[in-house]
Structure 1
């Protein structure tokens, strides 16, 4: 059973090739390769679920953001621009990210919950992250979440 997200990617790849959209076809091709690599990793080959395919796409999008920053620092703005464009393209397949306000509300509630169970100060980071992560999984980047939790615990 093919995951519907993977199927969507394959259909979009076919459409991009037909439309001669080099950026879209190249990006989707690389993403499908990453998905296939994940499927054959380990002792037995398996079909990824939509949630696992989403994780792969999220990881690929993060790679694009980091590469864009590296190219920018390295004085290669045209390469950085391409990486950003690929990241935007991959974002189309990801769920809408939480706004700073939405994320802040979730973190504040989690900090209060952790304090109620006796965890306070910087050492409570792990307890708060355990509460926050399941709620924001796939909707906010881990680094962003961790920074907000640190800020909430320090303040």
Structure 2
């Protein structure tokens, strides 16, 4: 489980006295704990790894946006800190599908659902999110689904 990998990563970072990595992993654990608390009040609970992956992907997206903003603003030192955190976060994420595999998987889902036009986008995206959660960045999936339905 990814949660166990994160705990082991924290222990090894603390033993190595790597302050930056330790701080980044603690941020990850705090975000996961917040998500756990949110899910207590929500109905139904998903697969633990899927929940953790969603949190990690959200954190990674936030870091990428921050890096872009800091670099535009000339704040190189802050961008470097965000890049270090992003590297730690991505270290816990499972390998993402490459574009060719993603296109093939989406084409299979489109065929399974019998989707024919962009009007079916919502139905296809729901199936993609259900079947490929954690393996594919959903922001990229949207463009791939549009491409599969248009062409």
Matched, 1:20 2:13: no
The superposition leaves residues 122-146 of structure 1 with CA deviations (integer Å, 9 ceiling, x where unpaired) of: 2121122133222211011111000
TM-score (norm 2): 0.81
Residues 50 and 150 from structure 1, CA distance in 2 versus in 1: closer, same or farther, beyond 3 angstroms? closer
Say if 2:50 and 2:133, in contact at 8 Å, map to a contact too: no
CA RMSD of aligned residues (A): 2.5
- Counterparts in 2 of 1:3-152, with a 5 A limit? 4-41=1-38, 42-43=40-41, 49-114=48-113, 117=114, 119-152=115-148
Cα shift at 1:148: 0.8
Give me the whole-angstrom Cα distance separating, in 1, the residues matched to 2:143 and 2:129.
Answer: 13
Cα shift at 1:43: 4.7
The superposition leaves residues 24-59 of structure 1 with CA deviations (integer Å, 9 ceiling, x where unpaired) of: 111001111112222333559xxx934322322222
TM-score (norm 1): 0.79
Give me the whole-angstrom Cα distance separating, in 2, the residues matched to 1:35 and 1:74.
Answer: 30
Give me the whole-angstrom Cα distance separating, in 1, the residues matched to 2:84 and 2:5.
Answer: 20
Residues 91 and 17 from structure 1, CA distance in 2 versus in 1: closer, same or farther, beyond 3 angstroms? same
Query: Which is further off, 72-81 or 20-29?
Result: 72-81
Residues 130 and 60 from structure 1, CA distance in 2 versus in 1: closer, same or farther, beyond 3 angstroms? same
**Helix, strand or coil: the match of 1:85?**
helix
Q: Give the structure with the larger helix fraction.
A: 2
